[in-house]
Chains A and B, each alone.
Chain A
Amino acid sequence: MATRIVMEALSPTMEEGRLVEWKKQEGDKVNVGDVLAEVETDKAVMELVARAGGTLLKQLVPAGATVPVSQPVGWIGSPGESVDGAEVGRPGGQEAGKSGGMAARAPRSSADRPTPTPPSIPAPHPPGRVRASPLARRMAAEQGVDLTTVQGSGPEGRIVRRDLRDGMERRAPERGADAGAGYEDIPLTQIRKTIAKRLSQSIGPIPTFYLTCEVDMERAAEAREALNTAAGDPGRISFNDIVLKAVASALRQHPACNAWWQDDRIRLWHEVHLGMAVAVPDGLITPVIRNADQRSLREIASMTRDLAGRARERKLTPEEYTGSTFSVSNLGMFDIEHFTAVINPPEAGILAVGSIVPVPAVVNGQVVARRRMRMTMSCDHRVIDGATGARFLQTLKLMLENPLAMVW
């Protein structure tokens, strides 16, 4: 009646795990969901949790041992229940050679292992047959849930009703998404879950970090003056319009920054809906430029004028200030050179735009005055990593410094 504890695939690419530390000792009482041990995967130190309740009867491997995925590491059962040697030594579902089960090796540092590239979709199950109860299979079929995306909580990872119920709630919006919705839900990988958990513990519920870069706005200014001269007053565009257009275009190339944090998954938006922070007499509101990436600079300019005007008059409809996928806040008109903006959840990023000021810059070996602008992106680290945000800013800078890149 005892249940075998196996090394689980705690990351999508994990082939083996190093059992760092047992959190339960032989003889300890164990409930379903209790952390049995810490396991170092190819990416992080993860928790191996109990899939069955009872007493930890046996630890089959010592702390420090490296064990292939699906190999047994221990037994849970009733107190005093004997787990005979032959049974203990039986290899797991997927045999890894004729090791007789254990295959515990001397600990290695994770450094000598190659770092695999993270796949976009995690695989909660190791390859092979999905373990699921007949009821879970029926429910999954009825609800159109792919069982390979569900993490089972039964013995040896069997998917049971409770897993699917949870999963169902999670998946409900996703099913709507299939029918041409403008986004894609990405289940969280183990590494993302760890990042989310650890960083939230560190700074607030939204672990934010900031990236700042300075942009040379000479060419953008020249282009703006030329366009405004040609178009005259009705079609005037502002620097902010140019920034919005550039942000929308850059987001198109960096969907990872055009995303929502959804607690158990990340929603990558295929559409770009730009929130634009507007100061109103008693606060601030963020009207949304829908599908900003598909609009011309002139359209954006006229929309921002209209939205900002009506925002100040409090005449926006709720649809006009909800649903943004990324936001821009500009305090340049108040002579703020640099600031950080607060993320508007569930969005994963916001760009804070400072004023354009002439500063000495080196151009072709000469110190000259250039109109420069500093912008700072606040990133939700659960969604956006440093390099991800930096690459987005690089693209944005390229577009602002070379306005033609926006239509490139």
Chain B
Amino acid sequence: MTVITYRDALNHALREEMQRDDRVFLMGEEVGEYDGAYKVSRGLLKEFGPKRVVDTPIAELGFAGIGVGASLVGLRPVIEMMTWNFALLAIDEIVNAAAKLRYMSGGQLGCPVVFRGPSGAALQLGAQHSQAFESWYAHVPGLKVICPGTPADAKGLLKSAIRDDDPIVFMEGEMLYNTKGEVPEEEVLVPIGKAEVKREGSDVTLICHGKMVGVALKAAEELAGEQIAAEVVDLRTIRPLDVEAILASVTKTNRCVVVEEGWPFAGVGAQVVDTIQREAFDSLDAPILRVTNADVPMPYNRALERAAKPDPGKVVAAARKVLYQ
């Protein structure tokens, strides 16, 4: 194990996959000369040259389309969105092209493209740059949606995503890039569609993904001080959802809080709750609660932004609530 940042874990994944398979290329705004807006692609242009690390104009729809087209003719494009907020301009290529091609060609076409970039709020970037869109993409049949919360998962899942034959929406976290964690030195492919129990507990299940993994773990730590053993289940992949892992934990603890960065309405947590109430109704000892961003455009004001975001304190309060404490 080595301790590296989430940013470097992604960088290593890209480098290893580009070394392994010359069909893999990276394209996006400032990925080459500038080493990436968040330095995820640092050194790749130098190593692989401008044919495999391609700087693009500010034209998300255009280069997303190039990525879809390239995947159709046998390449394995990784399309970097500077943030998923900007990918709104490219959503037609992702939803109407990438997600549909295998189905509409009767299985004749595959679309092994990875769209990746940071999602969710950072600090005071305003309403238009502080959005978490995983539930939007998870809504679409034909897409796989991955939200790693740790450096090890970021590396192992990006490698799996690049090798996958279907279009992938890979959502990172701007606030996660600098976080550090242990990453295996040997090659590990984290399977897509598999959640992981990040902390074991018996009293309440905290379900989370992406940036909220750290929030849930902090909350679990705080709850442990109150003799409450919280189990933290990191979904890692939103679609396909690891229903088995969710049910295994909830049938053990009988109580659940779902934490996500996005808005509450029709969010990822709504899907999780739907699954639990249907599949594990007789195991529930309390209604499931959700901790989400406030149902508002993200405020720019620092205090209001803090109030709008999910945090460990809100998760602890929700956990106490489902424990009737």
Instruction: List the interface of chain A (C-beta within 8 A of B).
Output: 1, 31-32, 51-53, 78, 133-138, 153-155, 160-161
A53 touches B285 (CB 8 A): no
Contact, CB under 8 Å: B321 / A136: no
- Given A133-B284, A155-B324, 5 more contacts at CB 8 Å? A1-B321, A52-B325, A135-B283, A138-B283, A154-B324
- Tell whether B320 is near chain A: CB-to-CB under 8 Å: yes
For the complex, what is the distance from the CA of A395 to the CA of B282, rounded to whole Å?
A: 53
> Judging by beta carbons under 8 Å apart, are A52 and B283 in contact?
no
Contact yes or no, A154 B286, CB < 8 A: yes
CA distance A135 to B280 in the complex (A): 9
Roughly how many angstroms separate A321 CA and B320 CA in the complex, as a whole number? 51
* Contact residues of A: prevailing secondary structure: loop
CB distance from A341 to the nearest CB of B (A): 47
- In the bound complex, residues from chain B placing their C-beta under 8 Å from that of A154 are 286, 324
**Is B254 among interface residues, defined by CB-CB distance under 8 A?**
yes
In Å, the complex CA distance between A160 and B284 comes to 9
Residues from chain B with Cβ under 8 Å of A136 in the complex: 285
Question: Once the chains bind, are A135 and B282 in contact (CB under 8 Å)?
Answer: yes
Interface mask (B247-289 → A, CB under 8 Å = 1, otherwise 0): 0000000100000000000000000000000000111111000
- In the complex, the chain A residue whose C-beta lies closest to that of B317 is A78
- Nearest A-chain residue to B287, judged by Cβ: A133
Given A78-B317, A161-B254, A135-B284 contact (CB < 8 Å)? yes
B283: which A residues are within 8 A, CB to CB? 134-135, 138
B residues at A contact (CB < 8 Å): 254, 281-286, 317, 320-321, 324-325
- 11 example contacts (A-B, Cβ-Cβ < 8 A) are as follows A32-B324, A51-B324, A52-B324, A52-B325, A53-B325, A78-B317, A134-B282, A135-B282, A135-B283, A153-B324, A155-B324
B320 contacts across to A, CB distance below 8 A: 53
Cα(A1)–Cα(B254), bound, Å = 20
In the assembly, what is the distance between CA of A133 and CA of B283, in Å?
Answer: 9
A-B contact count (CB 8 A): 38
The residues of A that contact B317 with a CB separation of less than 8 Å are 78
Q: How far is the CB of A30 from chain B (nearest CB, A)?
A: 11
Report yes or no: B254 in contact with A135, Cβ–Cβ below 8 A: yes
Given contacts A53-B320, A78-B317, A134-B281, whether A160 and B286 have CB atoms under 8 Å apart is yes
Which one of B281, B285, B321, B325 contacts A161 once the chains associate, using CB atoms below 8 Å? B285
User: How far, in whole Å, are A106 and B320 apart by their CA atoms in the complex?
Assistant: 38
Q: Which residues of B contact A160 (CB under 8 A)?
A: 285-286, 324
The answer for the CA separation of A153 and B254 in the assembled complex, in Å, is 16
In the complex, chain B residues whose CB is within 8 Å of the CB of A52? 324-325
Bound: A310/B232 CA distance, A: 66
Could you tell me the distance in whole angstroms from the C-beta of A323 to the nearest C-beta in chain B?
A: 39
B282 with A138: CB separation less than 8 A: yes
**Quick one: closest A residue to B251, CB to CB?**
A135
3 closest A-B pairs by beta carbon, nearest first, are: A138-B282, A135-B285, A133-B285
A132 to B, closest residue via Cβ: B285
Question: Taking the nearest CB of chain A, how far is it from the CB of B182, in angstroms?
Answer: 37
Q: Which residue of B lies closest to A51 (CB)?
A: B324
Within the complex, the shortest CB–CB distance from A165 to chain B, in Å, comes to: 11
A52 and B322 CA atoms in complex are apart in Å by: 10
- Using CB atoms, name the residue of chain B closest to A142: B282
Within 8 Å CB of B285, what residues of A? 133-136, 160-161
Complex Cα distance, B286 from A153, in Å, reads 12
The answer to whether B324 and A134 have CB atoms under 8 Å apart is no
Whole-angstrom distance from the CB of B239 to the nearest CB of chain A? 27
Q: Which of A1, A32, A133, A135 makes the CB contact (< 8 A) with B325? A: A32
Q: A78-B317, A154-B286 are in contact. Are A53 and B324 (CB under 8 A)?
A: yes
- Report the minimum CB–CB distance from B161 to chain A (whole Å): 38
Residues of A within 8 A of B324 (CB): 32, 51-53, 153-155, 160
Q: Which residues of B contact A31 (CB under 8 A)?
A: 325
B284 touching A134, Cβ below 8 Å: yes
Q: Quick one: closest A residue to B281, CB to CB?
A: A134
Min CB distance, A286 to chain B, in Å?
A: 45
Distance (Å) between the CB of A175 and the closest chain B CB? 21
* Across-interface contacts of A137 in B (CB, < 8 A): 282
Bound CA–CA A193/B283 (angstroms): 33
Distance to closest chain B CB from A346 (angstroms): 33
Residues of A within 8 A of B254 (CB): 133, 135, 161
Residues of A within 8 A of B281 (CB): 134
Whole-angstrom distance from the CB of A147 to the nearest CB of chain B? 14
- A31, A51, A78, A161: most-surrounded residue (chain B CB, <10 A): A161
- Report which residue of A31, A32, A153 has the largest number of chain B beta carbons within 10 angstroms of its beta carbon: A32
Chain B positions within 8 Å of A51 at CB level: 324
Report how far A135 CA is from B285 CA in the complex, Å. Answer: 5
Shortest beta-carbon distance from A136 to chain B in Å: 7
List residues of chain A with CB within 8 A of the CB of B284.
133-135
Q: How far is the CA of A52 from the CA of B324 in the complex (A)?
A: 6
With the chains together, A136 CA to B325 CA distance in Å?
A: 18
Nearest CB on A from B313, distance (A): 11
A residues near B282, Cβ cutoff 8 Å: 134-135, 137-138
